[in-house]
A and B are shown apart, each in its own frame.
Chain A
Amino acid sequence: MPHQALGEFEQMVMLAILQLDGDVYGVPIVEEIERRTGRSVSRSAVYVTLRRLEQKGLVSSRMSESLPERGGKPRRCVEVEPEGLRALHDSRRAMEQMWRGLDSAPGEVG
């Protein structure tokens, strides 16, 4: 079965999860994307995306213990599933296929 196509933002969220170590949850994911891309990210969009990715089965989550510094609220820790990894690689390959032969194309900067 062909993998589900991933949107750009979905790819960014999943790549951010893979880049991070330890407890991976909303706060560090937002920061990681902002740090690497240099642009500010809508927090609510990240959560909606995470939820969608989980519904698609590309990402899984578990709740941490309740933490007093968060007013007794737990963290939702996420990790990328093998299915998600495959989808990421597929998306990358598709892009590379499209870029092949254009590496020295005029107009590219940096």
Chain B
Amino acid sequence: MSRAEPPRLARLLLERALPHDLRDDVVGDLDEVYQRRLRERGALWAGVWYARQSVAFAARFALQRFRERRALGLDDLGRDLLTAVRRMRARPGAVVVVVLTLALGLGANASMFQIVEALHLRTVSVADPERWTIVEIADMSRWQGRRTTGYPVLSHALWESIRDGRGPFDATLAWASTTFFLEDSGSPTVVRGLYVSGGFFDALGVAPVVGRTFGPADDRRGCGLQGVVLGYGFWQRAFGGDPAVVGRRVALDTHPVPIVGVAAEGFAGLEVGRAFDVAVPICAEEVLGDGEQWIANGTVFWLTVMGRVPPSQPLRSVNAQLDAWSPALLEATLPDQYTPDGAEAYLGLSLRAIPGATGVSSLRIRYGSSFVTLLGVTALVLLIVCTNLANLFLARGAAREREFAVRRALGASRGRLLRELSIESAVLAAAGAAVGLALASTLSRSLLGPLGPDLSLDLSLGGLTVAFVVAAAGVSSLTFGLLPAWLASRGGCEHGLGGLREGRGAAAAGRGADVRRWLVVSQVALSFVLVFAALLFTTTLRNLLAVDSGYEAEGVAVARVDFRNLDLPDASRTAFKRDLLERVRDVAGVASADEVRHVPMGGTGSSANVRAGDGTSISVRLNAVTNAYVETAGLPLLAGRGFAPDDAPEAPLAIVTPAFAMRVGLGSTPVGRRFVIETGELGEGSSMEIEIIGLVPDAKYFNLREAPVPTAFVPKALLPDSRPYTDFMVRTPLPPQVLHEALRAAVADGSPVVWTDVRPFDDTIHAGLVRERLLSTVSGFLGALAALVAAIGLYGVMSHQVAQRKSEIGVRIALGARRRDILLMVLGQAGALVAVGVALGGVLALVASAPVRSLLFGLEANMAPMLVIAAGVLAATGALASYVPARRAARLEPQTALTLE
């Protein structure tokens, strides 16, 4: 009888799918049934049946195989994990050291990354953050006016035009940060306030938790003060999350106002690092502002304007539309205070949109680059830690080489050994990562501590940070685990067992030792970069601390007196301040006191334009002071006189600096000469002719880094100032605390309604150095740590080498080599490693220092001395680390060394 074959493809599948031991009989059984079906039902039916059966068998056995393999794999993994943990328990000390080293490296990276993430990467918690853009002026260098903050701001007039014209945006909003005094029950407290446009909360998709937020109707000129919305955090803190606060009346800067609602949890405003406590509509500035009429004054830029881009509209086309719109916008909003020069500069501005998903942040502007730099530094530290651990694992791998050779001879695959060793390093890395993550938030907080008590950066452990640390731990475990594991498991039988026969690990002295030497070289190189960085930052700080501010700050205090709670009418504020100054001067122990428009280096300033001798317009800094400024600030008069009590309050007089005289072209004897000053801050009429009566030395205006800026001091009354607060500089031997008490008693009979704050002038001068202190402290600590770790690595390698070469050294000594020669030989070998490392490190350091140049001071010209010092530090560390093994080698008794053979 001729036999019909079943479908070939199905048959093939079946044969493939079945396990070896079942193949013949199952195929036979199915064939048997197939033949029967063929006879009974025909070829088609039988064929379909056979195909279905083969698919069913293939699926079932594939599933079976998968289950078996998984069970086997898990078992294996479990066993390897257990072995790894057992091995670790045998050496608890070593494990603790390794885990702590890793935790330090990973923790430092985690905390830096956490800060960088919170500052730069995290989007603000609003609906569609990616669609929001910030509208800014592309180039403000020629613009005249006042801006209230370092991040992008526009005038109220510009905001209104953008809001009403819409332009390329489908929604717009504006806001500004400020502070208020809030009085609920008891004395007023300072709260972080926000002026917001009417549609602010709705546009951002921020719903009220209780009550309501503002609508467009709430924000219109002349609205007065109709209501206040609380931030969620403040509501919890100050009102215990009581929903009944809606409708309750509080006082903002003495103005009674009802609470209308509370914003959603998690929304802290759009400024990263500064959460808002209370929000009021922008129009309330007319009531709450400092009487400076920011809403009406187009030369004050104070509102951050943001626009939402329609979905899938590229930023480039938005900017093209803004560019086309700019001239009309500026034309329509040109402030009438401007002189022709000022107006020309204003009309020459252009608007552009920049991504706004991560909000704005003055913290980011000031410290952002520092933290990114420090993240680079901590990454290097982690690399050094890994190199060091790789060295450690290599040494241990070399010690276990014979064990591995025996196991391979007995049939263990290389993959098997690799896996076992990698699991050990992975477990260590995981433990290090866990401890590091636990440390991260504490580390970040202590790093951010010096930046200010008010900081509200969200330092919760984000998914991104955890992912970063897991990735870093993974890479670390590969770096310090895989290379040594690869080398340790490479030996076949001939390799390690040969060593077994020879009695001592001759095999270990091979490639492994070379790799270890290169690891030490790279460690030295990386440490060099860190030591160099630490030197750069500490020298920068030292240079800045050594900079002469120009003031005699010793014994000078800065006092702020804030009397907005007295609710004085604008007109009587100047007289009140004059009275305050007299009271301050009358305090026992006060040698001299002066009221100043801007505390030098206090962060605020005024500018004006002066027509130079050659007709060009020079931008100068301006300060308004009273008649005791020269002696209070400790600026010796170089020529002429200071302001006198009998000068008329608004007399057009000025004291200038040499930089001013030079830039304006007045020569070295400017006293008695006149110049014309132009600025919007003069109030009535924006230009004035002024006579120079005195010359004082150049002193810093904003910060210690700046070159001498042309500065003019004019009488306090010349610049109208209706702010309900003012600053005094006080020269006194009294300690700040005592002065504070005396001031409080003097200015308002101790009443809490007038708020006072006193701090040493020195603090103001050096407050700007927080960034430099941060960089120098952290990089200094990490640089020292890196040098120490490199020293440990070098010590390990040299000790190992000396132990390896005991017999050779013994022979040398027996043959008459002097001990000094041996000492020098070992030191020389260590020196060679250090020298190669330093050379490599020098190149790396120069490359790596390019992007941080803007953070340095006083080092621009020449970094060579720093390179030499860093080299010296590492050479000394290296010598110290290798001296002990070298001495051990030199003291070897040839007898003992040779009997070891």
Binding site for B on A (CB under 8 A): 25-27, 42-45, 47-48, 51, 63, 67, 69-71, 73-76
Contacts and interface: CB of A to CB of B under 8 A. Distances in A.
A27 B31 CA distance: 10
B60 A74 contact: no
Interface string B1-45: 001000000000000000000101111111111010000000000
Contacts of B60: 42, 44-45, 48
A26 B59 CA distance: 19
Nearest to B59: A44
A70 B35 CA distance: 9
* Range, interface on chain B: 20 to 34
A73 B25 contact: yes
What is the predominant secondary structure among interface residues of chain B facing chain A?
helix
Interface string B401-445: 000000000000000000000000000000000000000000000
Contacts of A69: 3, 32, 35
Interface in B290-348: none
A1 B30 CA distance: 38
A70 B32 contact: yes
B64 interface: yes
A43 B32 CA distance: 13
In the A-B complex, the 10 residue pairs with the closest CB atoms: A73-B28, A76-B25, A70-B28, A44-B60, A26-B29, A44-B57, A44-B56, A27-B29, A73-B24, A71-B31
A74 B26 CA distance: 9
Nearest to A28: B29
B31 A73 contact: yes
B22 A47 contact: yes
B370 interface: no
Contacts of A67: 28
Nearest to B24: A73
A40 to B, nearest CB: 12
Which one of A25, A43, A44, A73 has the greatest number of beta carbons of chain B within 10 Å?
Answer: A44
Interface of B: 3, 22, 24-33, 35, 53, 56-57, 59-61, 64
Nearest to A63: B25
A13 B28 CA distance: 19
Contacts of B35: 69
Given A51-B22, A69-B35, A44 B61 contact: yes
A76 B28 CA distance: 9
Nearest to B53: A43
Contact of A75 (B3, B25, B33, B64): B25
Contact of A71 (B22, B28, B53, B64): B28
A70 B57 contact: no
A74 B35 CA distance: 16
Q: Which of B28, B57, B59 has the most CB of A within 10 A?
A: B28
B533 to A, nearest CB: 65
B48 to A, nearest CB: 15
Contacts of B24: 63, 73-74
B53 to A, nearest CB: 6
Given A44-B61, A47-B22, A70 B56 contact: no
A47 B33 contact: no
A19 B27 CA distance: 24
Contact of B25 (A43, A44, A48, A74): A74
A48 B64 contact: yes
B31 A47 contact: no
Given A27-B32, A48-B64, A70-B32, A42 B25 contact: no
Given A26-B26, A71-B28, 19 more contacts: A42-B56, A42-B60, A44-B53, A44-B59, A44-B60, A45-B60, A47-B26, A48-B61, A51-B22, A63-B24, A63-B25, A67-B28, A69-B32, A70-B32, A71-B3, A71-B27, A73-B31, A74-B24, A74-B28
**Which residue, of B24, B29, B56, has the highest number of chain A Cβ atoms within 10 A?**
B29
A63 B29 CA distance: 12
